[in-house]
Amino acid sequence: MSREQLVVQRARKSFQTGKTKLLEHRIHHLRNLLRFVTERRKDIAESVKKDLGKSEHGTELFETLGLEGEIKLAIDKLAEWAAPRPVEKSLLTISDEVFVHPEPLGVVLIIGAWNYPWAVTLQPLVGAIAAGNAAVIKPSEVSCHSAKVMEELLPQYLDKDLYPVVTGGVPETQELLKQRFDHVFYTGSSTVGKLVMEAAARNLTPVTLELGGKSPCYIDKNCDITVACRRITWGKFVNCGQTCIAPDYILCEPSIRSRVLEEIKNCIKEFYTDDPKTFEDYGRIINKQHFKRIMALMEGSAVAIGGDSDESQCYIAPTVLKDVTGESKVMKEEIFGPLLPIITVSGVEEAIQFINEREKALVIYVFSHDNKLIKRVIAETSSGALLANDCLVHFTVSSLPFGGVGNSGMGCYHGRYSFDQLSHLRSCLIKQLKLEGVNSMRYPPHTAKKLSWVCVAWVIVVHGLAADLLAAINVNCPP
C-alpha cells in the first residue's frame, strides 16, 4: 500500500467516527489553526523568504493576515453557517418542515500552488474544517521551504489523521489523485487543472478549480491616471507579478499611453527605489525554469521601462512593454511575472471586443470616473470578478465569492462560500402522516377528477399564488 493510500485511508476512518460533525470539534481545530498561524509567524515568514525572497512584512500582509481573518470569521459564524436553513413553503408543504441541512462531504484533497504557498493552501483548509470534513493537504513542491515547514509544524497543532500534510511532487500528487476523495480543491494552472478534473471524474468526485489566466486592465482616459497607475503598479509588481489576480496587461487609448508609462515609471521608483534588486520589498522569481519562461515572453516586444535581469538570482526588474499587439508572444499565455504589456485600443468598445475574443479571466480591472462605462463592461463581458478603480483587494472581501469562470476555474471560496463549497447542501422535507385525503389525489387510479384537482394545486404553486392565498385567508405558517 502506498503512503498516499494509507494517509487517505486513515483520514477516512477517522472521519467515519463522526467526530467532525460536532461543532465544538471544528471550532477546536480552527482555534488550533489560528494558534499555529500566530505562534509560527516567524517560521512561516522565513520559509516564504527562502522560497520567494519576500520580506517578513510582505508575508504578513499578503498571507497570514488574510488567513487569520478567515479563521476568525469561521469561528464566529460557524453556528450560523452550519444551522439548518429554513426555505420558503408552498401550499403543498404548508404543514411540513422544509429546510436545507449543510453536511460534511467527507475527505477533501487540497492541492496548493507555490505563489502564496500558505494562503492558497490553508484558506481552503479553513472551509474544509469548518464544514466538518477531513482534509489531506498537499502543498506545492515548488515552494519547497514552505512545504517542509507545513509538513513539520502543522501536525503539532491539528489532528494528524484528519488533517495530514502530504509533501512531494507530480508523482505523489498523481498517486493521491488515484485515491477516492469526496472533493478535490485545486489551485494552480489551467493545464494541470484539466488533469485534476480528469482524475476526479473517475470517481465522480466534484472539484473546485482555482486557476489563472490573463486578467485585463482597461484604463479609461476619463480617470485619475496618477491614482490608477499607483494601484496598477502595486497590483502588478507585488510578489514579482506572481499573483493569480495580477493585472496581466493594460488596455488604453493611444492618447494616454505616454502619460500611463510616465506615471508607472514614477511609481516603480517610489515603491521599489532606483535599484529594486537590492530592495527588500521586491522579491524573486520562484525558480530558474519560471525565470527562463518569463524572459522568453519578452521576445518581439519593446522594453519601455526596466528589462534588467540576473539569472543567478532569479531576478527580473519591474518591466513595462510597449508596441505589443494581441499577436505578441507575451499575449499568448498568462505572464505570472513582472512584465506589464501596454496595448492600445480605440476606446472601451474595442477593449470589450479584445477581452471577449479571449478566454474568460479570473478578474477584469477597469479604471474610470464614469460609472456607466464600468457598468457597461460588467454587462458586456464575463470573468470570475470585476474590480473597478483598484487591484487585488476584492480577494480580501470575505463576503464576495472568490473564483474563476470558464478557463479561469470553477467553484468559489472565502468566508461562507468556503463553507458552502465544501458542504453538501442537503434538501430535507419532513412531512406529516396526515391529510391522506389530499394526498390520495396522486395515487392510482388516475381519474380525470383527481387530475383536475392536481392541476389546480399546481397552478397555485407554479404561479406563486400560495403566499397570496394564505395571506388572504390569514393562515399563519409554522416556522
Query: What positions carry a catalytic annotation?
Result: 210, 244
Q: Is 192 in the site for ligand NAD (CB under 6 A)?
A: yes
Task: List, in sequence order, the alpha helices (H) in 23-102.
Answer: 23-39, 41-52, 56-59, 65-82
Of 30, 137, 144, 244, the residue at the interface with ligand NAD (CB under 6 A) is 244
Of 212, 276, 306, 411, the residue at the interface with ligand NAD (CB under 6 A) is 212
Of 15, 114, 237, 272, the residue at the interface with ligand NAD (CB under 6 A) is 114
- Which residues sit opposite 219 in a β-bridge? 252, 367
Distance CA 234, CA 64 (A): 19
Q: Is 108 in the site for ligand NAD (CB under 6 A)?
A: no
CA proximity to 246, closest of 330, 361, 409: 361
Q: Is 163:125 a contact under the CB 8 Å cutoff?
A: yes
With CB under 6 A as the contact rule, which of the stretches 6-14, 112-120, 350-358, 439-447 interacts with ligand NAD?
112-120
Of 167, 189, 266, 396, the residue at the interface with ligand NAD (CB under 6 A) is 189
Distance CA 300, CA 321 (A): 10
Distance CA 157, CA 149 (A): 13
Q: Given the complex with ligand NAD, which of 175 and 262 has the nearer CB atom?
A: 175
Q: Cβ contacts of residue 293 below 8 Å, gap of 6+?
A: 337
CA of 284: how far to CAs of 54, 141, 144, 147, 276, in Å? 8, 17, 15, 18, 10
Of 67, 334, 360, 368, the residue at the interface with ligand NAD (CB under 6 A) is 334
Least separation in angstroms between CB 381 and ligand NAD: 18
Q: Is 187 in the site for ligand NAD (CB under 6 A)?
A: yes
CA proximity to 76, closest of 7, 27, 17, 110: 27
Q: Given the complex with ligand NAD, which of 132 and 409 has the nearer CB atom?
A: 409
Cell numbers representing residue 302 in the block: 519593446
Least separation in angstroms between CB 330 and ligand NAD: 15
How many residues line the site for ligand NAD (CB under 6 A)?
Answer: 28
Q: Given the complex with ligand NAD, which of 114 and 315 has the nearer CB atom?
A: 114
Of 108, 219, 362, 374, the residue at the interface with ligand NAD (CB under 6 A) is 362
Of 7, 67, 122, 142, the residue at the interface with ligand NAD (CB under 6 A) is 142
Query: Which residue in this structure is represented by grid cell 534588467?
Result: 308
Residue 235, Cα to own-chain centre: how many angstroms? 17
Q: Is 113 in the site for ligand NAD (CB under 6 A)?
A: yes
Q: Given the complex with ligand NAD, which of 152 and 224 has the nearer CB atom?
A: 152
Position closest to ligand NAD via CB: 212
CA proximity to 364, closest of 415, 399, 406, 332: 406
Distance CA 230, CA 63 (A): 22
Which amino acid, 121?
Answer: T
Q: Given the complex with ligand NAD, which of 106 and 188 has the nearer CB atom?
A: 188
Least separation in angstroms between CB 289 and ligand NAD: 10
What is the C-alpha R_g of the chain?
Answer: 26
> Interface with ligand NAD by CB under 6 A: which residues?
111-115, 120, 138, 140-142, 169-170, 173-174, 187-189, 192, 195, 210-212, 244, 334, 336, 362, 404, 409
